[in-house]
Amino acid sequence: MYKIAAMGDKDSIYGFSSIGLEILPVTEPREAVRELRRMSEEDYAVVFLTESLAALLGSELDRYRERAVPAVILIPGVTGNTGEGLRSISRSVEQAVGSDILK
Amino acid sequence: MAVMNVNPTRMELTNLKRKLVTARRGHKLLKDKRDELMRRFLELVRENKALRLKVEAGIKQANAHMALARSVMSDEALSVALMMPAQKMELDVEEKNIMSVIVPQFHAKVKAAKDGEIYSYGYAFTSCDLDDAVLALSDIMPDLLKLAEIEKTCQLLASEIEKTRRRVNALEHVMIPQYEDTIKYITMKLDEAERSSTTRLMKVKDMMLQEAHHYQ
């Protein structure tokens, strides 16, 4: 059985605990990197990560792009939508096609 | 002309011809693979984008309710209300094969004390906005998991397409021209050697005839 986790600032992810997700209130990039690495070795299939925290992690997230699990999925936090999630889709399109044709 | 560093012999020529046939077949297959991957990818990525917009709108709504709840409830009260979740969500991960790319498929398994119970608190000390927030999140959850699945699939397909495209290009623009040029080079070399041996034989014949019959 695989687990699902939500990581980010406390306010953004608190609600997820009520529907049975594991929540990891993390705001420090270094701690986030450590938690991500731990989760990639354990049985976590999906990690929801707030966009604001993801912005601090830089290229660390690219490590998980080519692996089947965990799927690191960006979600908007309470501070608002930064559009990082949509940009990550554009990145996939660019990688596959050569330029973003869905604009 | 990109001629490989080989000896111009008949054996090399046969080998190269065989390699060229293999390279052409591989190129055709990989090109087909790339086209089909691309078709699937574009379908999925459109779905991905639509789903993401929907999910982000849902989360925004849940966050708005959460912010309201937070404003009317104390931090401790909120922590206590959400401390013991009424359900636990786990995932069954299946593997699916799309053109030999292994992609995960998520099936949620919800373990709840009572069926359909998502509120982990009595309603006495909590704001109704918290109920709305929890309900909004719980409604969006299936879509969120679907999004995770599709987004992961897109990422995996994208990297496979990139790899396949590189292989196709390498075969098309490097390997195949190189084989063709080398085959041409060896053929010409061999033909030249044959012509030179023919002329030498004719010359030798002339010399022998002259010696025997004093022909001029």
Write down the pLDDT at residue B216: 62
Q: How many CB atoms lie within 10 A of CB B132?
A: 17
How many Cβ contacts (< 8 angstroms) between chains A and B?
Answer: 140
pLDDT digits (tens, 9 = 90+) for B124-149: 777 888 888 888 888 888 899 999 99
Provide DSSP, B74-112: -HHHHHHHHHS-SEEEEEEEEEEEETTEEEEEEEEEEEE
* CA distances for B28 relative to B18, B23, B25, B37, B100, angstroms: 16, 9, 5, 14, 17
Of the pLDDT bands very low, low, confident and very high (cuts 50, 70, 90), residue A14 is: confident
Write down the pLDDT at residue B74: 82
Q: Is residue A39 part of a domain?
A: yes
Mean pLDDT over each residue of chain B, to the nearest integer:
89
Instruction: State whether B49 and A86 contact (CB < 8 Å).
Output: yes
Q: Is residue A103 part of a domain?
A: no
Nearest chain A Cα to B81, which residue?
A18
Q: How far is A71 from chain B (nearest CA, A)?
A: 6
Write down the pLDDT at residue B84: 75
* Of A77-81, B51-55, B99-103, minimum mean pLDDT range: A77-81
* Of A67-71, B84-88, B159-163, minimum mean pLDDT range: B84-88
> B91, B106 in Cβ contact below 8 A?
yes
Of the pLDDT bands very low, low, confident and very high (cuts 50, 70, 90), residue A88 is: confident
B212 CB-near residues (< 8 Å, 6+ apart): none
Q: Is residue A102 part of a domain?
A: no
With a cut of 90, say whether residue B71 has pLDDT above it.
no
Of the pLDDT bands very low, low, confident and very high (cuts 50, 70, 90), residue B157 is: very high
Of the pLDDT bands very low, low, confident and very high (cuts 50, 70, 90), residue B199 is: very high
For residue A39, what are the domain limits? Answer: 3-97
Buried b / exposed e over A68-85, threshold 16 CB at 10 Å, is bbbbbbbbbbbeebbebb
Q: Is residue A61 part of a domain?
A: yes
CATH number of the domain where residue A22 is located = 3.40.50.10580
Pair of tokens at residue A94: 């660019």
pTM: 0.86
Mean pLDDT over each residue of chain A, to the nearest integer:
86
Query: Residue B156: helix, strand or coil by DSSP?
Result: helix
Of A19, A65, A93, nearest to B89 by CB-CB distance is: A19
With a cut of 90, say whether residue A22 has pLDDT above it.
no
Write down the pLDDT at residue B202: 95
- Among B83, B91, B82, which residue's Cα sits nearest to residue B137? B82
Measured CA to CA, the distance from residue B33 to residue B206 in angstroms comes to: 62
> B37, B160 in Cβ contact below 8 A?
yes
Write down the pLDDT at residue B115: 66
Provide DSSP, B182-212: HHHHHHHHHHHHHHHHHHHHHHHHHHHHHHH
> B23, B182 in Cβ contact below 8 A?
no
Average pLDDT over residues B45-55: 92
> A5, A39 in Cβ contact below 8 A?
yes
Nearest chain B Cα to A2, which residue?
B91
Write down the pLDDT at residue B176: 95
pLDDT over 90, % of chain B: 53
**Structural domains of chain B, with CATH:** 10-209 (1.10.287.3240)
Write down the pLDDT at residue B159: 92
Instruction: State whether A96 and B158 contact (CB < 8 Å).
Output: yes
pLDDT digits (tens, 9 = 90+) for A44-74: 899 999 988 888 888 888 888 888 878 999 9
CA B20 to chain centre: 26
Write down the pLDDT at residue B166: 94
Q: How far is B136 from chain A (nearest CA, A)?
A: 10
Cα A38–Cα A63–Cα A49 angle in degrees, nearest 5: 65
Provide DSSP, A10-77: HHHHHHHHHTT-EEEE---HHHHHHHHHHHHHTTEEEEEEEHHHHHHHGGGGHHHHTSSSSEEEEE-B
If contacts are CB pairs under 8 Å, which of residues 83-102 in chain A contact chain B? 85-86, 88-89, 92-93, 95-97, 102
Write down the pLDDT at residue B1: 67
With a cut of 70, say whether residue B48 has pLDDT above it.
yes
With a cut of 70, say whether residue B213 has pLDDT above it.
yes
What is the value of ipTM here, to two decimals?
0.90
> A16, B118 in Cβ contact below 8 A?
no
With a cut of 70, say whether residue B116 has pLDDT above it.
no
Write down the pLDDT at residue B201: 97
